[in-house]
Structure 1
């Protein structure tokens, strides 16, 4: 579930506590935790509603300037039912703090290196983790399709690989492209030194 940029501050400060989406079937369920650009957001409830029952207050709680604006947003997609999603902000994305930890202890570093080795062994394209980290380190802010082209792979699999690195706190998404994190630099140095 994606949230537009204009909602990020409201999600973080708790003024946005609802979302309305038109889906053929619910794409989230109660208990789901979503990592967003604003931080971690918990889904507390999901239910189908009649668009005519949505109030002006609910529209504002969903980050819309008015009920009319929300209804126009929902009308842009005609298939599916309207779902009301109750949200609660839980806090910062834990990967943010992880990315900044440039000095993992020996056990933590060994665990990350072992995970990267498993990624490399499982890949049908062969080892990729060190090469992708180096590519991102050398090319911050470069579009994913351009980086994928330099690797000779399609964009979608390249992005999937980068997401694996991001989960470990090694990279960070920028408005365009990526950058390597302080933790990622430490791990890359260990990979390149053969540690």
Structure 2
């Protein structure tokens, strides 16, 4: 089962990914995590990415797609994966489509968590994340069982530096300019499923499970 979680920053993709992982036993593929892992492992693509970052340049789409190819080729992706945070532009979506054709795989579902911008800001400012496993919580809407501690792995939760109102507004503007057009791209392919992301977390999870079967 190959899934992509789609939606604005703060829509709840990270939170829902954890429940999908628990139920279906498939890995979450995050471009940020993959870049760091490739750099630390010293893979050919990782070395190219490291050179770009050290020179202050953006990592090119070709390098990111190459790293994704390496990741999707690993054994734990054989029965499926969850794409989170990629693609972000139409060019990346087209590159991913080409890669998947080469690898003889395809996306089964793209799940869009629809949340109005005004709710996103409150969600992100109150968000707390686990640096160890990536678990995501909210001080009001999804508090951890023990304050400041991740439910999944027991490590401390932190607030990201960019989880503030000004940064969120800029990220939302970028999302609407670059990433939102991908909605139509995947809808035309017949794999897009929409979910009301303003519901409570349990209801959203249940809606996702109904779609995935």
TM range (shorter): under 0.3
Q: Which structure exhibits the higher relative contact order, with contacts defined as CA atoms closer than 8 Å and separated by 6 or more residues? A: 2
Which protein shows a greater Rg? 1
TM-score (norm 2): 0.21
TM-score (norm 1): 0.23
